[in-house]
Amino acid sequence: MGRLINESGLRVDGRRPDELRPIKVEIGVLKNADGSAYIELGKNKVVVAVYGPKEVHPRHMALPDRAVLRCRYHMSPFSTDTRKNPAPSRREIEISKVIREALEPSLMLSDYPRTAIHVYLEVLQSDGSSRVAGISAASVALADAGINMRDLVVGCSAGKVDGVVVLDLNDTEDKEGEADLPVSIMPNLNQVTLLQMDGMLSSEEFSKAFEMALTGCRKIYEVQRNALLTKYFGTSQPSQVEEE
Amino acid sequence: MGRLINESGLRVDGRRPDELRPIKVEIGVLKNADGSAYIELGKNKVVVAVYGPKEVHPRHMALPDRAVLRCRYHMSPFSTDTRKNPAPSRREIEISKVIREALEPSLMLSDYPRTAIHVYLEVLQSDGSSRVAGISAASVALADAGINMRDLVVGCSAGKVDGVVVLDLNDTEDKEGEADLPVSIMPNLNQVTLLQMDGMLSSEEFSKAFEMALTGCRKIYEVQRNALLTKYFGTSQPSQVEEE
Amino acid sequence: MGRLINESGLRVDGRRPDELRPIKVEIGVLKNADGSAYIELGKNKVVVAVYGPKEVHPRHMALPDRAVLRCRYHMSPFSTDTRKNPAPSRREIEISKVIREALEPSLMLSDYPRTAIHVYLEVLQSDGSSRVAGISAASVALADAGINMRDLVVGCSAGKVDGVVVLDLNDTEDKEGEADLPVSIMPNLNQVTLLQMDGMLSSEEFSKAFEMALTGCRKIYEVQRNALLTKYFGTSQPSQVEEE
Amino acid sequence: MSAVKKSIVVEQLRKAQLLQLLSKGNRMDGRGPLDYRPITVETHVIEKAEGSARVTIGNTQVIAGVKVDLGDPFPDTPDKGLLIVNAEVLPLASPYAEPGPPDEDAIELARVVDRGVRESQMLNLSELALLPGKRVYAVFVDVSVLNVDGNLFDTTSYAVVAALATTRMPGYTVVNGEVKKTGETPPLPIQTIPVSVTMARIGDVIIVDPTSEEEAVMDARITLTSDGRGNLCAGQKGQSGTLTFEHVMFAAQTSRAKGEEIRELLRKGVGSAKV
Amino acid sequence: MSAVKKSIVVEQLRKAQLLQLLSKGNRMDGRGPLDYRPITVETHVIEKAEGSARVTIGNTQVIAGVKVDLGDPFPDTPDKGLLIVNAEVLPLASPYAEPGPPDEDAIELARVVDRGVRESQMLNLSELALLPGKRVYAVFVDVSVLNVDGNLFDTTSYAVVAALATTRMPGYTVVNGEVKKTGETPPLPIQTIPVSVTMARIGDVIIVDPTSEEEAVMDARITLTSDGRGNLCAGQKGQSGTLTFEHVMFAAQTSRAKGEEIRELLRKGVGSAKV
Amino acid sequence: MSAVKKSIVVEQLRKAQLLQLLSKGNRMDGRGPLDYRPITVETHVIEKAEGSARVTIGNTQVIAGVKVDLGDPFPDTPDKGLLIVNAEVLPLASPYAEPGPPDEDAIELARVVDRGVRESQMLNLSELALLPGKRVYAVFVDVSVLNVDGNLFDTTSYAVVAALATTRMPGYTVVNGEVKKTGETPPLPIQTIPVSVTMARIGDVIIVDPTSEEEAVMDARITLTSDGRGNLCAGQKGQSGTLTFEHVMFAAQTSRAKGEEIRELLRKGVGSAKV
């Protein structure tokens, strides 16, 4: 028994190992964007705007047979415990790249030749697993913008803390735990679009964590679906699940 | 009675509250420029060059119906008490913008479609109110470049020190005084083209300072006129007024 | 007798005043480059790649009557005693310029209108006189790339340490000696293409050092020639001379 | 901001219509010339920040966050704490905003808002010096603009003011010449609530709180900030049009009058924070 | 890297040929799907660096150099030494590389290699703290990529590992609270040898160690790094294609198996350095 | 500078005319090959700087300003003061100059001028160390080029030398291991007056002090700086043409001869400053 899992097997925020944090997804939160979404996952607060399809600048970057997808993951200076310099860090540049690569397989980019689609993710507050929370919101924002898609993309992390494989790491668990495994998938196509890992996992732990992340993705997918249904069909299914 | 106004009501440099510092304007001081001017206002020394109308780079920035006006206010590293980093500061970027907006109303930019007019202000020595001194010189340099104008633009500051509304703040008064109100006008059209303010002024003080700045502008306008007359018509009117 | 020349008149690394360090030139060391070369001069290790003639970016920089030559001299962060920041320093920018100007006279750039030829010099280890070592390697790499040339360019430095005029300064001699005079020439055309100097030399010392550098250039030219002969004609002449 | 001006095709008809309406004292959205759009103020929106606020004016939406840390004082003000205001118009805020370092519009925005806070002496910076000349509080206020629909100056200003007014900072004290954490989270030393009022001249009419559409056709802009004691404390004319002397005096008067109304609204918005 | 992808005209015929070969378990250069190209490891190549290695995999060539200095610890890890990994794809390495600060590909490269070294705990960073909170060793690893022909991740990773494993750093010790040079040159506190294995999915086939030509047509890339104790310690999926769940599990298995082989090769490459 | 070369259409006729004149020993403005244009030196032009000078050579105009402050010595020269020379070719100086950080031409300019001052040992940097290894004088020389008409190297060099020679710096002294202001304003420890002489080869002729027009057609440039004791102390060949060995020896000789003349002129220009 360690600092991060107590004698009852509960985590620092009282969750069971396979429990998600409270999650909320809102759609259409920004008036100017062609599509937008807002996600809260625990204390993570991420807002996403989609602009496009629109003209490509500079023009010679345009592709004759499909749209260019551009992503920017950025943290507001007040989003972290210590103030973050507003200039893009190396971490933000890497995450912007893997998010673009995580979203791209879901999009019918060949339907929009010679255009650009911009996805801007702003982390207003960061609390562990912000990149996968951002991916889940970004995919909903792309749907809100009416971009043709094969499937939604949904992200969730798993990892290991105090020797226990757990779902959806928070900030403390991310920093003090043993491993973090963020994953995103297209849930209907059963395809992995993002996978990163750092920390230390045995073969068995890796399998278990990967499975757990997939299960987490499917739960969050329901939240995405409900948010879209509520927005577009006015169904009464709650778009906020404290714990389903 | 405070540090900045003595018992005789005089200021740190011996001026009365409504008195300008010695001022000198010279025209055509730089050989390569299409127009140029040099101003000394107290210890302020500002040189201005105008290049244009000329081609616009990059070309897509050209406007079909008028010239693009670009301004750069820059301080030489040796111009201030403590060495200034030569890279443009946020302050210089803001001042460049308000100077452009102060000069633009006076220019017949639609006479020069698809061109650019560049105004470069270099502060060789700074001593309070350098931006308005620069505007006064820049307008003369634009006239020297033969750019069609509606009116000259002339700038002057007023403010408050030790509770007294005063004209044309010097460095000490700017830093230690209570308020600074730089203004520029087109004197024949009675139009304000620049107004900034920082510090604390009551309603009455604001009115009084604003009026005083306008009066200062009209005095400096005479110096501008004389400099132009001397340069272009060889009149003997002095272009340097210690105090008219 | 000082620290840098001992009682036998030998230098810190045991060389006589007019002695070159061991030198080795290899050709074709990089697979992707159109031409490449590697030089070791003492502990200097410099690799050079040539790409081109190729398209010019941005296109408006192309010249209608000849190729644009671009050079970049860069030091790897681990190449110096203290780690070097990877961003180009002012020193590297100046050296890139003089190397370009040293190589350009040897090239028939008018044979390649509207193209660019890029020469990249990477200093993997620096030990005094790296710029002239780099020039010697770059000229060989340009030959390897098949660029039409009037002559090779070969560089060597001379200087003064402990009052003695010496050839081919190493790092210690460069830093602690009295003068450094790097020179490059076209050896068959008897033309100087680079000359820099810092330190203190009397008239006589300047003449002597300049002559010595020219002699050094001619020795290194033999190494260049042998490397090219070996590569292209498989001759058995050694491309590495410890001291001829 | 400037991108908006450049990129929105300024339809001459629309401008004519707008001017006609204004000549009768009306605006496209039904407001009178001196009416603001609805203003909302929400504080404590970012738990990790020491203070924060989301402010909307119409569709313009801004979040300000305050971080308080220790820092070295500036050499010319050794006995004062540091106040640093930055603003970014995020690329998600408008089709015309671009990623990258703040452009001249964002720099002007941050500097004008900074001047309002600083010159009003909203914060007693002298109380934020712990070891004069050596160690002081450093108050960073960062603004993320999330949606642009005109009047960024006021929206940003109110968000910054609300965030500062509700900040609880980590307390420090000096014990035997050393700075130690007290464990308390005192508020910042707030002295007044500055309020900026931004006006636009369109033709002969002065309006407050312009929308993006109105900004696209405005001739000149003027922002004047008043403190809670009847003083003006910051001003900035903008854009390449002019103002008459009468316009300036009218703007000064209007900024004080509207400022009082909005100060009440902000006081309510920051709730229990005593200001 | 991405420039390679964009600029090499992806000849459809070539891809078809490549896929046909792969479906029979073969590759253009005669390798089987899970074969690496020849790997060479040369250490002590830069005398001025405290550690260095040149590694080639096929035509891909990389030099890593280690500099060890003293530094201040990061505030959140006061009792650990610093490890900083940087990589530059030099413009001489490929017709598509450009001079300038590292682009997103080079940043990803350095960060993934860094994660493998860091998370495997190859270095015992705690032993690199001299005066916890005040003065620690700072280990800079810089990578110059000299020639690009695919699989930069593994080539860079092996070069970094070999350079670190053979580093002799300037020794320091703490005497009466002061850091002093000992005159000795101890090795770094090496605990294990991490090995990254990079795989590409092309169609339905997973191959290891892709060439530039194979990278130009690959659908997805996955790099998994194992330590010497049977654990995975870092992972990165790349490119805009997908992997099935089975692909991921196969890649995890492959990375451990191939990792063991290559760890032996690296152990030999770093010679007497005991690891 | 290079912009000048690129942008001025090099009229072949003009060049032919110029070469014809030069072959007879004459120049467009009537000078002989080894004549300078009129040189003016004005010092104390910036009261806020510790030293300053405006130098003109023909229409080329430059201002140099000196600021002296305290700083930390460089690790490799702990017992020497700092000398930092920067130059900016301001956008007002020529239609081809652009705003922005110094380009390669401006960097070369500053570095060549710096070398002349530094290597001549004009300043006794050892006297500028207050607490060796800890605290030294830092001498910043900044140059603003106001108008470009050729020969920036010499104009800038003379302005820097005149500004340094007339500098009165804030005096400091060390009392019980602490650096204290003395209240005095001593001159810098000047040891000699270095003089750069810039020559251009056009065809077979070497001329000194080229104008912009001459620079536009020159084949090669060479700058050689001499100290006041008959030594050469800095050199720089420029441009993409060549020099023969005889050209180099002629240039070395010329630089010393012309250098003596100009040193006298500079000595007069800096007036009472004893150098």
pLDDT at A237: 55
In a domain, D5, yes or no: no
Query: Distance (Å, rounded) from C-alpha B170 to C-alpha D165?
Result: 34
The token pair at F218 is 């020159």
Nearest C-alpha of chain C: how many angstroms from E253? 33
- Name which of E45, E63, E95 is nearest C51 (Cβ-Cβ): E95
Nearest C-alpha of chain D: how many angstroms from A78? 5
Q: Annotate chain C with three-state secondary structure.
A: CCCCECCCCCECCCCCCCCCCCEEEEECCCCCCCEEEEEEECCEEEEEEEEEEECCCCHHHCCCCCCEEEEEEEECCCCCCCCCCCCCCHHHHHHHHHHHHHHHHHECHHHCCCCEEEEEEEEEECCCCHHHHHHHHHHHHHHHCCCCECCCCEEEEEEEECCEEEECCCHHHHHHCCEEEEEEEECCCCEEEEEEEEEEECHHHHHHHHHHHHHHHHHHHHHHHHHHHHHHHCCCCCCEECCC
F227 shares contact with chain C (CB less than 8 Å): yes
CB E156 within 8 A of CB E143: yes
Taking residues D62-78, what's their average pLDDT?
95
Whether F271 has a pLDDT exceeding 90, the answer reads no
Amino acid of residue A17? P
Arithmetic mean of pLDDT over chain B: 94
Instruction: Find, in chain B, the residue whose alpha carbon is nearest to that of F52.
Output: B78
pLDDT at D11: 60
Chain E residues with beta carbon closer than 8 angstroms to that of C80: 48
Chain E residues with beta carbon closer than 8 angstroms to that of A97: 104-105, 108
Whether A153 has a pLDDT exceeding 80, the answer reads yes
| CA neighbor of E182 nearest in space, from E65, E70, E264 | E70
Cis peptide before D187 (omega within 30 of 0): no
pLDDT tens per residue across span A163-208? 999 999 999 999 999 999 999 999 999 999 999 999 999 999 999 9
In a domain, D17, yes or no: no
Pairing relationship of beta strands E82-89 and E135-147 according to DSSP bridges: parallel
How many residue contacts between B and D have a Cβ separation below 8 Å? 97
Taking residues D173-191, what's their average pLDDT?
94
CB A178 within 8 A of CB E231: no
Chain A residues with beta carbon closer than 8 angstroms to that of E243: 191-192, 195
Chain D residues with beta carbon closer than 8 angstroms to that of A83: 67, 69, 140, 142
CATH number of residue E118's parent domain: 3.30.230.70
Taking residues A142-150, what's their average pLDDT?
98
| Mutant choice from C198, C205, C208, C215 vs F, greatest count of F C-beta within 10 A | C198
The number of distinct structural domains making up chain D is 1
- Flag whether the ipTM exceeds 0.85: yes
Contact F147 B32 (CB under 8 A): yes
Whether F5 has a pLDDT exceeding 70, the answer reads no
* Residue A37 C-alpha from the chain's centroid: 12
Report the Cα–Cα distance between both ends of chain B, in Å, rounded. 28
Length of chain E: 275
F63 shares contact with chain B (CB less than 8 Å): yes
Taking residues A128-148, what's their average pLDDT?
98
Secondary structure class of B182 (helix, strand, coil)? strand
- Band of residue A85 on the pLDDT scale cut at 50, 70, 90: very high
| CA neighbor of E221 nearest in space, from E201, E249, E235, E192 | E201
In a domain, C1, yes or no: no
DSSP sequence for E72-108: PPPTT-TTS-EEEEEEEE-GGG-TT--SSS--HHHHH
Chain A residues with beta carbon closer than 8 angstroms to that of E100: none
Instruction: Find, in chain D, the residue whose alpha carbon is nearest to that of B90.
Output: D107
Whether F10 has a pLDDT exceeding 90, the answer reads no
Instruction: Find, in chain E, the residue whose alpha carbon is nearest to that of A211.
Output: E245
Distances (CA, A) of B113 to B50, B178, C156: 17, 44, 56
Query: Distance (Å, rounded) from C-alpha B197 to C-alpha D155?
Result: 20
CB D188 within 8 A of CB D139: yes
Nearest C-alpha of chain E: how many angstroms from A191? 5
Chain C residues with beta carbon closer than 8 angstroms to that of F107: 90, 93-94
The token pair at C78 is 């681990």
pLDDT at A3: 86
Neighbours of chain A (3+ CB pairs under 8 A): D, E
Instruction: Find, in chain F, the residue whose alpha carbon is nearest to that of B34.
Output: F95
Question: In angstroms, how far apart are the furthest CA atoms of chain C?
Answer: 61
Instruction: Identify the bridge partners of residue B123 per DSSP, sorted by sequence position.
Output: B46, B75
pLDDT at D197: 98
pLDDT tens per residue across span D2-16? 334 444 445 677 788
Contact D234 B197 (CB under 8 A): yes
- Give the lowest-confidence range in B136-150, C215-229, D198-212, F6-20: F6-20
pLDDT at F187: 97
Q: What is the arrangement of strands in the sheet containing A68-75, beginning at the earlier edge strand?
A: A68-75, A116-125, A44-54, A35-41, A23-27, A240-241
Instruction: Find, in chain C, the residue whose alpha carbon is nearest to that of F240.
Output: C101
Contact A105 E242 (CB under 8 A): yes
pLDDT tens per residue across span F189-244? 999 999 999 999 999 999 999 999 999 999 999 999 999 999 999 999 999 999 99
pLDDT at C233: 86
Contact F95 B48 (CB under 8 A): no
Whether F2 has a pLDDT exceeding 90, the answer reads no
Taking residues F160-189, what's their average pLDDT?
95
Q: Look up the domain containing D84 and give its range.
A: 27-270
| Percent of chain F as helix, strand, coil, to the nearest 5 | 30, 30, 35
Whether F3 has a pLDDT exceeding 80, the answer reads no
Q: C134: how many CB neighbours lie within 10 A of its CB?
A: 32
pLDDT at B242: 46
Q: Look up the domain containing B120 and give its range.
A: 23-233
CB B155 within 8 A of CB B132: yes
Query: Distance (Å, rounded) from C-alpha A195 to C-alpha E247?
Result: 12
Length of chain B: 244
In a domain, C217, yes or no: yes
- Band of residue C237 on the pLDDT scale cut at 50, 70, 90: low
Chain D residues with beta carbon closer than 8 angstroms to that of B206: 232, 252
Whether F8 has a pLDDT exceeding 70, the answer reads no
pLDDT tens per residue across span C89-146? 999 999 999 999 999 999 999 999 999 999 999 999 999 999 999 999 999 999 999 9
Taking residues E51-60, what's their average pLDDT?
98
F86 shares contact with chain B (CB less than 8 Å): yes
Backbone φ/ψ region at A190: left (φ over 0), alpha (ψ -120 to 50), beta: left
pLDDT at A244: 39
Whether A46 has a pLDDT exceeding 60, the answer reads yes
pLDDT tens per residue across span F32-54? 999 999 999 999 999 999 999 99
Secondary structure class of D160 (helix, strand, coil)? helix
Contact D46 A80 (CB under 8 A): no
Secondary structure class of D52 (helix, strand, coil)? strand
In a domain, A6, yes or no: no
Q: Burial code of B204-213, b = ≥16 C-beta within 10 A, e = fewer?
A: ebbeebbebb
CB A194 within 8 A of CB E237: yes
Query: Distance (Å, rounded) from C-alpha B51 to C-alpha F95?
Result: 7
Secondary structure class of B180 (helix, strand, coil)? strand
E100 shares contact with chain C (CB less than 8 Å): no
- Percent of chain D exceeding pLDDT 70 equals 95
* Residue C220 C-alpha from the chain's centroid: 10
D249 shares contact with chain B (CB less than 8 Å): yes
- Band of residue E3 on the pLDDT scale cut at 50, 70, 90: very low
Chain E residues with beta carbon closer than 8 angstroms to that of A82: 75
pLDDT at C68: 97
Amino acid of residue F227? D
- Name which of F69, F91, F93 is nearest B72 (Cβ-Cβ): F91
| Mutant choice from B192, B194, B205, B207 vs D, greatest count of D C-beta within 10 A | B192
pLDDT tens per residue across span C149-173? 999 999 999 999 999 999 999 999 9
- Name which of B51, B86, B125 is nearest F46 (Cβ-Cβ): B125
Whether F274 has a pLDDT exceeding 90, the answer reads no
Containing A227, the helix (H) or strand (E) segment is helix A203-233
Chain F residues with beta carbon closer than 8 angstroms to that of B49: 91-93
In a domain, B128, yes or no: yes
Whether A236 has a pLDDT exceeding 60, the answer reads no
- Name which of A76, A81, A127 is nearest D144 (Cβ-Cβ): A76
- Band of residue D152 on the pLDDT scale cut at 50, 70, 90: very high
Chain B residues with beta carbon closer than 8 angstroms to that of D110: 90
pLDDT at E11: 60
- Band of residue E273 on the pLDDT scale cut at 50, 70, 90: low
Nearest C-alpha of chain C: how many angstroms from E102? 10
Contact E92 C78 (CB under 8 A): no
Secondary structure class of D155 (helix, strand, coil)? helix
Whether E128 has a pLDDT exceeding 60, the answer reads yes
The token pair at B113 is 């479609």
In a domain, E13, yes or no: no
In a domain, A121, yes or no: yes
CB C208 within 8 A of CB C165: yes
**Burial status of residue E100 (CB atoms within 10 A of its CB: 0-12, 13-18, 19 or more):** exposed
Supply the pTM of this predicted model: 0.94
Q: F186: how many CB neighbours lie within 10 A of its CB?
A: 13
Length of chain D: 275
pLDDT tens per residue across span B197-225? 999 999 999 999 999 999 999 999 999 99
Length of chain C: 244
- Band of residue F1 on the pLDDT scale cut at 50, 70, 90: very low
The number of distinct structural domains making up chain C is 1
Secondary structure class of B72 (helix, strand, coil)? strand
pLDDT at F7: 41
Interface of C to E at Cβ within 8 Å reads 30-33, 36, 43, 45, 47-49, 51, 54, 72, 74, 76-83, 86-87, 118, 120, 122, 124-127
Whether E68 has a pLDDT exceeding 90, the answer reads yes
CB D123 within 8 A of CB D188: yes
Arithmetic mean of pLDDT over chain D: 93
Query: Distance (Å, rounded) from C-alpha F231 to C-alpha D218?
Result: 67
Whether F73 has a pLDDT exceeding 60, the answer reads yes
Higher pLDDT, C241 or F252: F252
Instruction: Identify the bridge partners of residue E123 per DSSP, sorted by sequence position.
Output: E190
In a domain, C172, yes or no: yes
In a domain, C240, yes or no: no
| CA neighbor of E97 nearest in space, from E239, E210, E1, E211 | E1
Q: Inter-axis angle of helices C90-103 and F104-119, to 10 degrees?
A: 100
In a domain, B155, yes or no: yes
Instruction: Find, in chain B, the residue whose alpha carbon is nearest to that of F63.
Output: B124
Arithmetic mean of pLDDT over chain E: 93
Taking residues F254-264, what's their average pLDDT?
96
CATH number of residue C107's parent domain: 3.30.230.70
Distances (CA, A) of B198 to A180, B78, D74, D247: 51, 26, 20, 19
Instruction: Find, in chain B, the residue whose alpha carbon is nearest to that of D244.
Output: B191
In a domain, E10, yes or no: no
User: Within 13 Å of residue B197, how many CA atoms lie on the same side as its CB?
Assistant: 33
**Burial status of residue C234 (CB atoms within 10 A of its CB: 0-12, 13-18, 19 or more):** exposed
DSSP A32: S
